[in-house]
Structure 1
Amino acid sequence: MKKWWNWILAVALICLLFIAIPISLSKNKEQMYRPMFDEYVEKFNKSYKNKTDEYETRFQHFMASMEEIERLNAESRGPDDHRARYGLTKLSDMSKAEYREIHLSDEKVTKHPSHYGKTWKDRRKNHTDDHKREPGDQITNNVYVIIGRQKRAALPMQVDWRTKGAVGPVRDQGMCGACWAFSTVGAMESMAAINTGKMTTLSVQEVIDCAGLGNNGCAGGDICVLLDWLAITDTAVETDSQYPLRLLDGACRLPANATGVRLSSFTCDDLVANEGRILQMLATHGPVAVAVNALTWQNYLGGVVQYHCSGAKADLNHAVQLVGYDLTKDIPYYIAKNSWGTEFGINGYLHLAIGSNICGLANEVASVDVI
């Protein structure tokens, strides 16, 4: 009987040990992260610093972010000065569910554009013939540079429309899920600047308030559906000074005699197997708007995103503007302009690897021409 009792006691002690170890580790983590969290709260001037319940909830989210940051940095590969870097951002105290809800629910990619009838195809240029790889296409850093069938020439190794005064300031969409509007209007104002030589910030708020065809203001929309609506209605996008940004849904206040920038034509294509076409657009035409999957961008600080970012069309949840590229680096990348303020990433920008449909950026690529 004594042997049985000893055996039961030994098992009980082992079970208690396995329970106690995680609890101890958890307490150690809390002790380690608590001073870091206090510094974080001060640095980003968080409003809950004196609200005990919310403070503790945010601390738990912060610790989860720290674990993700460690994992993503461990998985990043490549030269130290190019690999993606992750760390604490103003979003690091959000739960994943909250981050998805606030920042990743705004790009609602339309699966069947033809639902809107012939207008979709009739009002956009068709570049299908240019997409196929042909003998003689150049390969630069493993990326096919396709110039089309009529003319072939080497594309520049670097393109950055910011240096040409054709990219507007980074803006912050805040709690308004309107990335689809920021990225598309950004592409329109870039093309207007290229045409006129003058950069004028256009009204994102007008698009939030007025765009139809299923676009739903701060509750989300789609870059290509927005372009289709602009083409169908021949709507002029006014300047931001005429129709200021409020980051709230409102009634459309567009005057009947609006004289802003109008769309003359657009393309919206799946270029997953043809990223050379994206490079061509950026080099010879101008910035483009793209849908992306930004799930792992919550704690992005800089470097080139190459991994741990699904490219599946079903995972698209955000939209950004591509404003250039760099083929001279060990890891060639696109320059992407985000709409989460200048505190995000590289002064509001991030670098996305070329050639692998990273974060799904090639699933829905929109270019525009304006008048």
Structure 2
Amino acid sequence: MNIRLSVLLFLIFFTITSCGFAISSRAKDFGYSSADLASEETLLNLFHSWAATNNKPYLNSPDTKSTKFEVFKDNLNHIVATNKRRKSHWLGLNAFADMAHDEFKRNYLGFNPKKNLLTSTDHTTSKIFMYENVTNLPKSIDWRRKGAVTPVKNQGGCGSCWAFSTVAAMEGINQVVTGNLTSLSEQELIDCDIEFDEGCSGGTMDYAFASVVAMGGLRTEQDYPYTMEEGSCQPAKGGEAKRVSINGYEDVPKNSEESLLKALAHQPVSIAIEGSDRDLQFYKGGVFEGPCGTELDHGVTAVGYGTTFDGRKYILVKNSWGPEWGEQGFIRMRRNTGNVEGLCGMYKMASYPTKTKPY
């Protein structure tokens, strides 16, 4: 057999086995197999295993267990059906698998459009965009690799995504300016930023940035830990606690992917999206392409951008639903879609904190 043909056959074999490995690895990530879907009994066994793994307290309550099983089964059917038709992203079982979608939306969103800065008359949005004249953007950037992103956190059943988005952007610019990555307190925002934002009932990142400036900065996560509920604003114990400050914030020009990339090339950016699509509840990996609308209801943080090996352009986003969701707590969202508002409306309302002093 000539050498050229041998090489060709090897490449074909390598491609087939590599693709097979990728498919089997993806199936393993889902946490179920075709055998689990064979009957009601095997589905129930899968549910029991999932519930035990996720420490669900209702396994000894027959009525609750029965109701949750029906929700679990419906969610699994959605996951299986979606994975058969989606090519760019896939879904999987996660800690939300026993939650009906309406229940999930009530508990895990929290961007409050009632007071957003597009319509507010008592707040003036930023008119300055410091990155307007930036050119020669890098092809990709990942602020995790630059040490500007703390581990993914979990907002739990509190609509505090706005606080997590605000804090992640602040943690990022603080690291960019000072070189120090410090985990900051979402709870202090929830408890103390009460003039315009509403704790677990929702809020807006720009108002939160303005509140941080008025408060003189935020305390650390260690000093003011997260409790997953609203509390009273706590004074510093034992004298003035260490705070991380910002000078202010700026808005990214609305509906401009180019402007968001310019800002992202320099720091993590708070963005709002419509997070209420069912696929997002169970997103496991890949470049998310929707479906989703542009009615903003969830605050997240853009921490990079890039292109996959097969040419899919994406924005890298840090979420606040725990590291078990998505790609270790992150999601890649398709960009360059032709929609000026961006996928899920992610270009409609983006902003970032500004900081010039190293304290």
Q: Same fold (TM over 0.5)?
A: yes
The 3 A distance-change label for structure 1 pair 32 and 191 is same
Tell me the SS of whatever aligns to 2:317.
Answer: strand
Given that residues 267 and 303 in structure 2 are in contact (C-alpha distance below 8 angstroms), is that contact kept between their aligned partners in structure 1?
yes
Question: Who is 1:63 aligned against?
Answer: 73
Alpha carbons of 1:361 and 1:115: their partners in 2 closer, same or farther (altered >3 Å)? closer
Instruction: Please give the residue correspondences for 1:1-150 in structure 2 after superposition, counting only pairs within 5 Å.
Output: 30-31=40-41, 33-77=43-87, 83-104=88-109, 106-109=110-113, 110-113=115-118, 115-117=120-122, 119-121=123-125, 124-127=126-129, 148=132, 150=133
Please say if 1:189 is aligned against 2:199: no
Question: Is the Cα–Cα contact under 8 Å of residues 212 and 226 in structure 1 kept in the other structure?
Answer: no
Query: Alpha-carbon deviations, 1:145-194, whole Å to 9, x = none?
Result: xx84x5532x2122011111111111111122111001111100110011
| Inter-partner Cα distance in structure 2 for 1:308 and 1:29 | 30
Give the Cα–Cα distance (whole angstroms) in 2 for the partners of residues 359 and 33 of structure 1.
33
| Structure 2 stretches lacking a partner, 5+ long | 1-37
- For residues 321-354 of structure 1, the C-alpha deviation after alignment (integer angstroms, 9 at most, x for no partner) is 1111113532111111111111111111111111
Whether 2:282 is the aligned partner of 1:299: answer yes
Segment of structure 1 superposing worse, 247-256 or 333-342: 247-256
Cα deviation, residue 111, structure 1: 4.2
Q: What corresponds to 2:7 in structure 1?
A: none
Aligned residue for 2:224? 243
Which whole-Å CA distance do the structure 2 matches of 1:209 and 1:188 have between them?
Answer: 18
> Residue 270 of structure 1: CA displacement?
5.4
Deviation at 1:243, TM superposition (A): 1.7
Task: Report the CA distance between 1:98 and its aligned residue.
Answer: 0.8
Q: CA–CA distance in 1 between the matches of 2:208 and 2:66?
A: 41
Find the counterpart in structure 2 of residue 345 from structure 1. 326
The Cα offsets for residues 18-37 of structure 1, whole Å up to 9 and x where unpaired, read as xxxxxxxxxx8634522322
1:325 to 295, 305, 326: 305
Paired with 1:222 and 1:159, the residues of 2 have a C-alpha distance of 26
Distance (whole Å) between structure 2 residues aligned to residue 367 and residue 43 of structure 1? 38
Q: Following the alignment from structure 1 to structure 2, what is the Cα–Cα distance between the partners of residues 364 and 64?
A: 34
Which residue is 1:136 aligned to? none
Fraction of identical pairs, as percent: 31
- What secondary structure sits across from 1:207 in the alignment? helix
For the pair 1:280 / 2:285, whether they are aligned, the reply is no
Contact 2:252 2:260 survives alignment (8 Å): no
Please say if residues 290 and 322 of structure 1, whose CA atoms lie closer than 8 Å, have aligned partners that are also in contact: yes
Task: Report the structure number with the largest CA radius of gyration.
Answer: 1
Normalising by structure 1, report the TM-score. 0.77
For the pair 1:265 / 2:265, whether they are aligned, the reply is: no
The answer for the alignment partner of 1:135 in structure 2 is none
Match of 2:247, SS state, is strand
- CA deviation profile, 1:227-254 (whole Å, cap 9, x unmatched): 23334x2531111222222222111124
Aligned length: 310
- Range that drifts further, 255-264 or 332-341: 255-264
CA–CA separation in structure 2 for the residues paired with 1:229 and 1:114: 19
Measured in 1, the distance between the counterparts of 2:346 and 2:250 equals 15
- Counterpart in 1 of 2:158? 176
1:295-344 deviation line (CA, Å, top 9, x unaligned): 2311111111012122x2x3x22111111111353211111111111111
- Structure 1 consecutive aligned stretches of length 4 or more whose deviation exceeds 4 Å: 111-114, 255-259
Alignment map for 1:220-231 (pairs within 5 Å): 220-231=202-213
The SS at the match of 1:291 is strand
The runs of 5 or more residues in structure 1 that have no matched partner are 1-27, 78-82, 131-146
Q: Distance in 2 between matches of 1:178 and 1:112?
A: 18
- Following the alignment from structure 2 to structure 1, what is the Cα–Cα distance between the partners of residues 134 and 318? 30
CA distance in 1 between partners of 2:246 and 2:318 (Å): 21
Aligned counterparts of 1:32 and 1:99: Cα–Cα separation in 2:
26
Which amino acid is the alignment partner of residue 208 of structure 1?
I
Provide the aligned C-alpha RMSD in A.
2.3
Amino acid across the alignment from 2:99:
M
Partners of 2:75 and 2:267 lie apart in 1 by: 36
Structure 1: distance between partners of 2:97 and 2:58: 14
TM-score, normalised to structure 2, is 0.80
Q: Does 1:164 align with 2:174?
A: no
In the alignment, is the contact (CA less than 8 A) between 1:114 and 1:120 conserved in 2? no
Provide the residue aligned with 2:180 in structure 1: 198
Report if aligned partners of 2:272, 2:300 keep a CA contact under 8 Å in 1: yes
> Are the structure 2 counterparts of residues 93 and 151 from structure 1 closer, same or farther at C-alpha, using a change threshold of 3 Å?
closer
